[in-house]
Amino acid sequence: MLFFLLKRLGMLALTMLVVSIVVFLLLELTPGNVAAKVLGQYATAEQQRLWLEANGYFDPAFERYLRWLAKLLTGDLGESLCYKVPVGDILWPRLLNTVVLGAAVLAIMVPLSLTLGVIAGMREGRPSDRAISIISIVTTSVPEFASAAFLSALFVFALGWLPGTSAMSGGFDWRELVLPVAVLVLYDFGYVARMTRASMADVMTQPYIRTALLKGLTFRVVVLRHALRNALIAPFTVILLQVNWLLSGVIVVESFFAYKGFGALLLEASLFGDIFLIEACAMVAVVVAVVTQTLADIAYAYLSPRIRFAGGPV
Amino acid sequence: MTRVRRILAALRHRPVAAIGFALVLFWFAAALLAPVLAPFDPVTPLTPFAKPGAQHGGALLLLGTDTLGRDILSRLLFGARSVLVYAIGATVLAYAVGVTAGLAAGYYRGRTDTVLSFAANVVLSFPVLVLYILILTTIGASGLNILLAVTVASAPGIMRVVRGLTLELRARDFVAAAKLRGDGAAYIMLVEILPNLRGPLVVDACLRFGYVIITIGVLGFLGLGLPPPAPDWGSMIKEARQVALAFPHMTLAPAVAISSLVLGFNLLADGLRDPNGRG
């Protein structure tokens, strides 16, 4: 177990290193003048040259990369070119907003998709199963920006129940959170529900379920006591991996509803070419992806005793 | 011919898959016939902010116009063209790269596999959209770059599937026989192993295709799609978002278009995968 964690930690560090170099190189190739972006269009060529020199832009690329890396290791993320403040000052509050959004989505999506998946899978092929399957195909077919348009037209334009943007300019308001959460839940719940259904349907065909039923236990008890426990192992790991998907969806939803979160920040930083902010966002994305993947593997091994860490491929 | 008839017969017993097939057929027809069907030029401004059903010079604006006064119906029809062309191109390219890498990794194993698998893991450990944004904001958004970005992001997933299947197939007797016969590695991979991957890859491709369409739409919505005057469903929603509360028809039309196209492919994939699905 310890070996497994160390191996994963090494993998995380290596991935972060590779990704940061790739991002740095990509930005290095970008045509465009950093000084003109930072100083504005009225700066003279001389002012631009002085700024570039003062900020070390005439040094070779690998030297600037190593300087950034050294600062990163001491916990210094550098300064944002676009916002002109330390990257941390802007990154952490935005990340917190996204965590709030993501937590709300998971809190609704997980119980909903597990319930629907179990109902569909416990009686395979029945109308309830078919209906849930088709609903989940339909909802996963509607991209987030399209369902955001549908829900806005209905709840903001036609009914006037909810605000159309979620900038939270007047402080935290749960009403502004409703539409972004609804859009993400709609797009994501179908996949987890389908995985749960497949897992549940598989468990229901096992001999021990038939034995329990033949023993005279009611269908309800068999489902709740015997089937559920085993059927939820696979969906659990899927949910953890879903966090990675959520990060992609969050970019679209935050940009549609002008929610001030991590996704919108990443998009702004990329469009501006704000190198240190992009690097920081990319590192956060990699950490989230690798940590959830590791948690999913650990949880899977813990829940399913047949899988052991030693020797086996992880 | 018999194959087509068999597919049509199968669809009759699966209403859900038949609906998917009809949706896909509808959009392919719309894309092919766009120049004939479209009442106006997709990039020419007519009357800005016209509601659906308004008139322009005696002609009906069935779906209204957008903020610049361009006919939304014509933009939808031509938009179907670009989304289908780029989705097909990107999927084919991603499969070409992914299948080649997967065959090589699974067949040669050893160092080839280690390097390719690590590269694939790095790409996969990244939220896909973050990857697209980074690639497209640096190399610039254009049709060709969309193809490249989608290929880079999807090829590793395809590679993993192909690698797993190849690892299993290379141990089979027919591969051993081919080796004894003295066939080259390329011949064995392409002629002996590849045809056996057809089944799993067809289902994978159907699902992936729907997802590629969503991706192209998302890129357009984020401003990283085809450059502005081009009729692109994602960009149409992006451009109209600011005024959507007053003129919802501008965002609803492209939203319905992309959703119905993706739904078509997903329903079709569901029907193909489930051999005894009753629909």
Q: Which of residues 218-247 of A touch B (CB under 8 A)?
A: 244-245, 247
Per-residue pLDDT of chain A (314 residues; tens, 9 = 90+): 788 888 888 888 888 888 888 888 877 776 566 666 677 767 777 777 777 777 777 777 777 888 888 878 887 777 777 777 888 888 888 999 999 999 999 999 999 999 998 888 888 888 888 888 889 889 989 999 999 988 988 888 888 788 877 777 777 778 888 899 999 999 888 888 888 888 888 888 888 888 888 888 888 888 887 888 778 877 877 787 778 778 888 889 998 888 888 888 988 888 887 888 888 888 888 888 888 888 877 877 777 655 554 444 43
pLDDT at B273: 67
CB of A135 less than 8 A from some CB of B? no
Chain A residues in contact with B279 by the CB 8 A cut-off are: 130
By Cβ distance, the residue of A137, A152, A153 closest to B266 is A137
CB contact under 8 A, B251 and A133: no
- Classify residue B4 as exposed, middle or buried by CB count within 10 Å of its CB (0-12, 13-18, 19+): exposed
Question: Is B277 a residue whose pLDDT tops 60?
Answer: no
The b/e string for A164-188 (b: 16+ C-beta within 10 A; e otherwise) is bbbebeeeeeeebbbbbbbbbbbbb
CB of A125 less than 8 A from some CB of B? yes
pLDDT tens for B48-107 read 777 777 777 777 777 778 878 788 888 999 999 989 999 999 999 999 999 999 888 888
CB contact under 8 A, A267 and B135: no
Residue type, A6: L
Chain B residues in contact with A134 by the CB 8 A cut-off are: 16
Question: Is B256 a residue whose pLDDT tops 90?
Answer: yes
CB contact under 8 A, A29 and B221: no
Q: Note the maximum CA span of chain B.
A: 76
pLDDT at A311: 42
Strand ranges, E, within chain B = 54-56, 59-61
Quote the minimal CA–CA distance from A8 to chain B in Å: 12
Give the three-state DSSP class for A119. helix
Quote the minimal CA–CA distance from B253 to chain A in Å: 10
> Residue A172 to residues A97, A175, A177, A266, B27: CA-CA distances in angstroms?
10, 9, 9, 22, 43
Which residue did the predictor score with more confidence, A6 or B44? A6
Q: Mean per-residue pLDDT for B140-166?
A: 85
By Cβ distance, the residue of B217, B218, B270 closest to A137 is B270
pTM summary value: 0.83
CB contact under 8 A, B133 and A266: yes
pLDDT at B92: 92
